[in-house]
Structure 1
Amino acid sequence: MTVTQLIFPFAPPTTEPQPIEDSCKEALLWALSQDLGFHDEDSSYASHTFHSFPAKFPPQLPRLFIQTLTRAGDVVLDPMAGSGTTVVEAFLAGRQAIGFDIDPLALLLTQVKVTPIDYDETKRIGHHVIGEASRAAKENAVQLMEFFGSQRDDKTREFIDYWFARETQVELMALLREIRTVADDATRSFLLLAFSSIIITKSGGVSLARDLGHTRPHRAKVIYAPSGALLEGKSFVETGTPNLQHHIKMLRSPVEEFAKRLRKNLDGINELGPGSNHAQVRLGNAQAMPLPDGTVDLIVTSPPYASNAIDYMRAHKFSLVWLGYPVEELSQRRRDYIGGEAIVEAQFEQLAPYTEAIVQQIAQLDARKGQVVRRYYSEMTRTFREMYRVLKPGRAAIIVVGTSIIRNKDIEVGACLADIARSIGFEVPQISVRGLDRDRRMMPAGNHVNRESQIQQRMHEEYVLGLWKPE
Structure 2
Amino acid sequence: MQVSDYYPISLDEIEAKVLKKLKRNWMQKCEDVEPLDNVKEITNDFGEKIIRVDGEIPVDLPINNGDRFLFISYDQSSLTHGLHKYPAKFFPELPRWLIKRYSKDKDLVIDPFMGSATTNVEALLARRHSVGIDISPFSRFLAKVKVTPINEQELERCKKGMLRLLVNYRPEKVANEDIPTFPYRDNWFNKEIILELAYIKKCIENLDTSEDIKDFFKICFSSIIRSVSNADDNCTRTVIRKKLKKTVNPSDALRRFAEVILTNIPKMIEFSNLCPKNISVTFPEDMDARNIKYENETFDLALTSPPYANAVDYPRMHQLETYWLGFAKGSLATLKKKQVGTESVTAKKYKDLHLTGIKEADKVITRIYNKDPRRAYIAYKYLMDMETNLKEIYRVLKSNGKYVIVVGNNKIRGEVFENWKYIISMAENIGFVLENYFASEIIKHFIKVPREERIDTDWILVLTKR
Q: Give the TM-score, by structure 1 length.
A: 0.79
Paired position in structure 2 for 1:122: 155
CA distance in 1, matches of 2:160, 2:355: 53
CA distance in 2, matches of 1:389, 1:314: 32
Aligned equivalent of 1:467, options 460, 463, 466 = 463
Aligned equivalent of 2:145, options 103, 109, 112 = 112
**Residues 33/364 of structure 1: CA separation in 2 closer, same or farther (3 Å cut):** closer
1:169 aligns with 2:194: yes
Q: Residues 349 and 378 of structure 1 are in contact (CA less than 8 Å); yes or no, is this contact kept in structure 2?
A: no
1:108 maps to amino acid: F
Q: Residues 28 and 65 of structure 1 are in contact (CA less than 8 Å); yes or no, is this contact kept in structure 2?
A: no
Paired position in structure 1 for 2:256: 257
How much has 1:311 moved relative to structure 2?
1.7
Aligned equivalent of 1:332, options 334, 343, 358 = 334
1:372 maps to amino acid: I
1:118-144 deviation digits (Å, cap 9, x = unpaired):
122112113323433543x41525x43
Paired position in structure 1 for 2:234: 213
CA distance in 2, matches of 1:371, 1:174: 45
1:437 aligns with 2:439: no
Q: Residues 165 and 203 of structure 2 are in contact (CA less than 8 Å); yes or no, is this contact kept in structure 1?
A: yes
Paired position in structure 2 for 1:226: none
2:239 counterpart SS class = coil
**Residues 58/102 of structure 1: CA separation in 2 closer, same or farther (3 Å cut):** same
Paired position in structure 2 for 1:91: 124
Q: Residues 87 and 279 of structure 1 are in contact (CA less than 8 Å); yes or no, is this contact kept in structure 2?
A: yes
1:189 aligns with 2:215: yes
Residue identity (%):
28
Q: Residues 137 and 327 of structure 2 are in contact (CA less than 8 Å); yes or no, is this contact kept in structure 1?
A: no
How much has 1:326 moved relative to structure 2?
3.4
How much has 1:419 moved relative to structure 2?
1.2
User: For residues 374-385 of structure 1, what are the structure 2 equivalents within 5 Å?
Assistant: 374-385=380-391
User: For residues 3-22 of structure 1, what are the structure 2 equivalents within 5 Å?
Assistant: none
Off by >6 Å, runs of 4+ in structure 1 = 10-14, 26-29, 31-35, 345-349
1:60 aligns with 2:93: yes
Aligned equivalent of 2:82, options 37, 41, 49 = 49
Over aligned residues, Cα RMSD in angstroms? 2.9
CA distance in 2, matches of 1:415, 1:195: 41
CA distance in 2, matches of 1:307, 1:57: 19
**Residues 27/339 of structure 1: CA separation in 2 closer, same or farther (3 Å cut):** same
Aligned equivalent of 1:198, options 203, 207, 224 = 224
Paired position in structure 1 for 2:20: none
Q: Residues 290 and 385 of structure 2 are in contact (CA less than 8 Å); yes or no, is this contact kept in structure 1?
A: yes
1:392 counterpart SS class = strand
1:309-355 deviation digits (Å, cap 9, x = unpaired):
x2212220111111113353423211211100233497989544433
Paired position in structure 1 for 2:6: none
User: For residues 149-164 of structure 1, what are the structure 2 equivalents within 5 Å?
Assistant: 149=179, 152=181, 156=182, 158-164=183-189
Paired position in structure 2 for 1:319: 321
**Residues 419/75 of structure 1: CA separation in 2 closer, same or farther (3 Å cut):** same
Q: Residues 96 and 278 of structure 1 are in contact (CA less than 8 Å); yes or no, is this contact kept in structure 2?
A: yes
Structure 1 unaligned blocks of 5 or more = 1-7, 15-25, 222-243
CA distance in 2, matches of 1:162, 1:291: 44
**Residues 197/317 of structure 1: CA separation in 2 closer, same or farther (3 Å cut):** same
CA distance in 1, matches of 2:329, 2:371: 34
1:463 counterpart SS class = strand
1:315 maps to amino acid: M
2:70 counterpart SS class = coil
CA distance in 2, matches of 1:386, 1:163: 40
CA distance in 2, matches of 1:297, 1:281: 17
Aligned equivalent of 1:288, options 286, 291, 311 = 291
1:234-268 deviation digits (Å, cap 9, x = unpaired):
xxxxxxxxxx6x32324352122111111221111
1:433 maps to amino acid: A
1:268 counterpart SS class = helix
1:443 counterpart SS class = coil
Aligned pair count reads: 405
CA distance in 2, matches of 1:100, 1:159: 30
**Residues 327/416 of structure 1: CA separation in 2 closer, same or farther (3 Å cut):** farther
1:420-470 deviation digits (Å, cap 9, x = unpaired):
1111111123321111113xxx31438xxx65x42xx32x21111111111
How much has 1:357 moved relative to structure 2?
3.5
Structure 2 unaligned blocks of 5 or more = 1-33, 41-58
How much has 1:88 moved relative to structure 2?
0.5
